[in-house]
Structure 1
Amino acid sequence: MPLINVIPGEKIPVAPMNLRLPVWRVPGWLLPLWWLARGLVRLTILAVRYWWLTGPAVAALWVYARYGRLILAGVVLAVTVACVAWWRWHPASWLRFGWYPVVARWRRLWVYRRRWPSIMATCGLATAFAGDRYVPHLVKVRCDRYVDEVTVRMLPGQLPDDWARAAQRLAYAFRLRDGQARTTDRPDRVVLRFLRRDPLAATVAPLPVPDVPDFTALVLGVREDGAPYRLRLTGSHVLVAGATNSGKGSVLWSLIAALAGGVRSGLVELWVFDPKGGMELAAGLPLFARFAYDDPESMAGVLEEAVKRMRLRAARLRGVARQHTPTPDDPLIVVVVDELASLTAYISDRKVKERIKDALSLLLSQGRAVGVRVIAALQDPRKDVLPFRDLFPTRIGLRLTEPEQCDLVLGDGARDRGATCDQIPESAAGVGYVALDGVREPVRVRFSYLTDDHIRDLGRTYRRLCATDQEPQEETA
């Protein structure tokens, strides 16, 4: 066969296509048999797939045909009484193994399966190739009191980020409140979390204060699935960002309350900075080892003292231990700063501002291993206001004013993954999203709210043991 020289840019010559299709002549009397066989196969597949409907129906028909309607009514009554007794005896297991699986199967059939192809197409998640339509496969649905978890097998070429960007549209398409996409252990699957009821709609009451705080799991509020939210303070600094009246005080006081037992026993020292004249945090004065307010120069001096304590501790632990373990003689130092921008951006004295920035940078970069934690709150998350934002492994975004601020606080792409801080209503103070380094999806949380009476009672009950003889040092103008 001679070689064909192809000039770049020209069309490659091909042989003419054979458009004649093979013709199979089938007798007319075989068509009804073929249709009947195909229908029986489909009915069998449906019966096996929806066994939770067909099984009870077949059993009920068999009992009715064999024993009559009275026996069938007795069986139904006995099953109903058993379910009610199970629910009354152990509600948690009844909901987990009895009720929610039935709800999940029903919602899969009636809510999701019925409209799945059309919604996938309108949300841009289905595709067509060579005349065939391809739709992502709905694998399973799990339900609990608040959330539907829909597991989906993605089409080739799709990423979890594609589903994260479409999660809100999917939620509205299924007539649900909110949607979020999360990755799984399998790279071809994604889990869609749809919120049916919001457990964070109501204010969270003050939580019990543990006598010995667990620094790996401090309970500060409630997650969007109704479970307690636990903050890991071990080896982590925390940044809290939110607009005015977004609930930054709820986060700070929830954290202080969770550490109050350690303050009383001496395991924790709270070094608190309130640049707004002490109005926000002064109610907890008996809990604080150091309390600085009003004067930037004095606050810079206290921060430099914390740096000195950190360096002395590092020299003592060098070659002895890689991580600090809090004890009453060597406590965990927690530096709490309200309105951090007042210290890093809004001070006119450049020398004082540089002293504060240098001290904070050292505490953030070197303090984790030696038992120094920084908890900072601010309203303006811009880079020029907080140049060392990336040194906070744990970041909490409350209500923000602009969509771009969500990514500034929680990391690039956080808003596409469901952290819509700019859509939190003003009435939901204390609601926010928590992002951790190394964890892809942010978690929606509502922090507990402590009134002034609760805070004063907290100070009286859990005041430092040495506070009976000596009040905390206050740094004033």
Structure 2
Amino acid sequence: MFWVLGMGLGSFYRYRSELAPAYWWLGALLTGAWLHASHPGWWPVPVVAAGVALGVLAWRPGWLMRRWPLLARWRVRLWAAGFAPAVAATVALAAVYGPSAGDLPTYSALAGLVFAVPWWWREDRRRLTRVRLIRERFADTAEQAGLGGARMVSAQIGKWGWSGRVKMRRGQHYADAVSAVPALESALGSRVGSVRVEQVADDAAEFLLRLVETDPHAAPIPWEPRTATAKASITDPVTVGIFEDGAPVTVSFLRRHVLIGGATDSGKSGLLNVILARIAECGDTAVWGIDLKKGMELAPWSNVLQRLATDNESAEALLQAGVDELEKRAEFLTMRGRREWYPKFDEPQLFIMIDEYAELSRKGQKLADSIARRGRAVAVCLLIATQRPTQKAMGEGSALRGQMNVRFCLRVNEAPDVDLILGAGKLRAGWDTTGFDGPGKFLVSAAGMETPRRGRAYLITDADVTETAITHSRHDSVTMRQAAEIITGGADSGFDGRSGGPEAIGTPPGVSGPEMALWSALRDAPPEGVPVGSLQAATGRGRRWVYKRLETGRADGTVTSPSYGRWRATMTRQQPAPAELDTGPVDQEGAPPAEPTQDPAGDHGL
């Protein structure tokens, strides 16, 4: 008896969505019966409630859609606009006359049936029923796909398809599910390339099965720029595209080397432009570029690039300047007792972008390798795009490929290239991009992204690139310096002996900020020291700012005053407490917060 009752209640709960119209009808009559028995004068309450619902539906549809995405469809909103008054009328009439008065039960049942038909026939309702059948029959599907004994323990529909958690029998592994993807597509009767399997962290014998019924990446995704007034910082993750489930592809580039790999026409240049646009939107970044196609790819970014090299000679000089910069930063951090560089608007993270790394000379590759190994902590980072990052292409004996923290893999022609770009073993773990059928589609491997999820980069047009470069142009960019040289009658090429070669555009700007400029001036000062006026000229800051840093430096023993009004570095410092070593600086006025952890010394010490 109890077993039959339990099964009946279980069925009522299991099919609660299908039985919802009956529940609404019964609930309206019971509510009216309660009001009729105890508070018959309350009949206006349901009428007012229905009026409020209609008002919100008419004047605040966006607010409703954010909370109930189903209401985003106009048909559903139209249905709701009729359903609310019908329920209110049933409750009000039952409250006044009683739920069994006259033909009220009949008319209310007919009204319920009228609204039940669209409820049962709506698209997501049909999809949910179909997914439930797939779940119930999944044992047979798994048997056909070679995963005998597997069963689907849960399933849910999504915007673009459905997903279910599958539990395999003991002895089977997630790798078996990866190998069975083609067979699963056949057993489920789905299109080629529509099935995804994702690893479940807590059990090697389980996996998440996703079926993409409607490809959200079938059409390009329009570029979404950040407004010029919105402050952006490289300390915050940036969005470069959209995953298949509609979630944004958000990646952190803070102190990260980035590798982009893909075959010809895979959308490598488009993804590179999206990343450059996001970096340009951040005010605490500086970008140098190496484009060995004579500047063809990076020339549109000349309003943002502080330096651009277009041949191997100038590329070597640029990379050497990058090595010099990271060594200066490392020495500066050592003197301050810190281990990491925290970017700010006047102490930015430096990105060195290299298009087609394999075309670099051997000397250039060695310099890039040095930056890859030592540049992360001091925020001198590489952004490399290449077709096949083989050991030969990346330089024999080079550790550069292993230093790439963020890796984007677009379509490749040969399966082994996946492991070359993303790392050994990725192909066997399900990271396969050989079947990608459109430009800009990629898999990304980074911190917090350990499972293969297909993404597509925003489509950024040439007009978008030009607008972004102008909107976020830098005062010390290649374009600005070339314009200044024309006005002042300087050399057309901008070559002044420091740019590294006749085809280098611009000269290496100072990217380390006034703090390092002050420290360098004090370090290089003669034994008798330098006056405050010289320190002001070196830093471009006011007297108060300089004196504040000098007093802090004298307090911690890194700065001394040999005579009145003259200063120099002592080249020694007090050892900070261990807890201070990993902390970052306090932001200057006008700069956004760097990271939650801050340096007590911040801008106030050398």
The bucket for the TM-score relative to the shorter chain is: 0.7 to 0.9
2:302 maps to 285
Distance in 2 between the 1:298 and 1:463 partners? 23
2:313 maps to 297
Equivalent pairs, count? 408
2:529 maps to none
What secondary structure is seen at the aligned counterpart in 2 of 1:380? coil
1:460 maps to 470
2:197 maps to 181
User: Of 198, 202, 209, which residue of structure 2 is paired with 1:192?
Assistant: 209
Distance in 2 between the 1:227 and 1:37 partners? 46
- Does 2:165 correspond to 1:151? yes
More deviation in 52-61 or 199-208?
52-61
* Structure 1 position 171, deviation (Å): 3.6
- Does 2:136 correspond to 1:125? no
Which one-letter code corresponds to 1:190 in the other structure?
F
CA contact (8 A) 2:388 2:421 kept: no
Q: Cα–Cα, structure 1 residues 169 and 464, in superposed 2: closer, same or farther, change >3 Å?
A: same
Could you tell me which runs of 5 or more consecutive residues in structure 1 were left unpaired when the two chains were aligned. 1-35, 68-74, 128-134, 344-351
What secondary structure is seen at the aligned counterpart in 2 of 1:448? strand
Could you tell me which runs of 5 or more consecutive residues in structure 2 were left unpaired when the two chains were aligned. 33-45, 77-122, 483-493, 504-606
1:446 maps to 456
Distance in 2 between the 1:214 and 1:374 partners? 18
Distance in 2 between the 1:464 and 1:330 partners? 14
- Does 2:437 correspond to 1:421? no
Q: What CA deviation, in whole Å up to 9, does each residue of 1:387-432 have, x standing for no partner?
A: 532211211111111122122212234334443311112xx21111
What secondary structure is seen at the aligned counterpart in 2 of 1:336? strand
1:213 maps to 232
Mapping of 1:3-42 within 5 angstroms?
none
CA contact (8 A) 2:388 2:420 kept: no
Which one-letter code corresponds to 2:232 in the other structure?
P
- Does 2:274 correspond to 1:260? no
User: Of 119, 125, 131, which residue of structure 2 is paired with 1:108?
Assistant: 131
Q: Cα–Cα, structure 1 residues 469 and 183, in superposed 2: closer, same or farther, change >3 Å?
A: closer
CA contact (8 A) 1:397 1:432 kept: yes
What secondary structure is seen at the aligned counterpart in 2 of 1:155? coil
Q: Cα–Cα, structure 1 residues 114 and 189, in superposed 2: closer, same or farther, change >3 Å?
A: closer
Q: What CA deviation, in whole Å up to 9, does each residue of 1:257-282 have, x standing for no partner?
A: 112233xx4x2111100011111111
Percent identity between matched residues is: 27
Q: What CA deviation, in whole Å up to 9, does each residue of 1:266-299 have, x standing for no partner?
A: x211110001111111111121111001x21221
Distance in 1 between the 2:449 and 2:471 partners? 37
Mapping of 1:300-379 within 5 angstroms?
300-318=316-334, 319-343=336-360, 352-353=361-362, 355-379=363-387
Which one-letter code corresponds to 2:319 in the other structure?
L
CA contact (8 A) 2:198 2:452 kept: no
CA contact (8 A) 1:414 1:441 kept: no
CA contact (8 A) 1:336 1:376 kept: yes
- Does 2:405 correspond to 1:393? yes
* Structure 1 position 57, deviation (Å): 5.1
Distance in 2 between the 1:97 and 1:283 partners? 43
User: Of 31, 44, 65, which residue of structure 2 is paired with 1:91?
Assistant: 65
CA contact (8 A) 2:319 2:368 kept: yes
Q: Which has the higher contact order (CA 8 A, sep 6+)?
A: 1
More deviation in 295-304 or 163-172?
163-172
Distance in 1 between the 2:409 and 2:442 partners? 5
CA contact (8 A) 2:326 2:378 kept: yes
CA contact (8 A) 2:303 2:480 kept: no
* Structure 1 position 95, deviation (Å): 2.7
1:32 maps to none
What secondary structure is seen at the aligned counterpart in 2 of 1:149? strand
2:532 maps to none
Which one-letter code corresponds to 2:407 in the other structure?
R
What secondary structure is seen at the aligned counterpart in 1 of 2:241? strand
CA contact (8 A) 2:255 2:349 kept: no
User: Of 215, 231, 248, which residue of structure 1 is paired with 2:251?
Assistant: 231
User: Of 149, 157, 161, which residue of structure 1 is paired with 2:175?
Assistant: 161
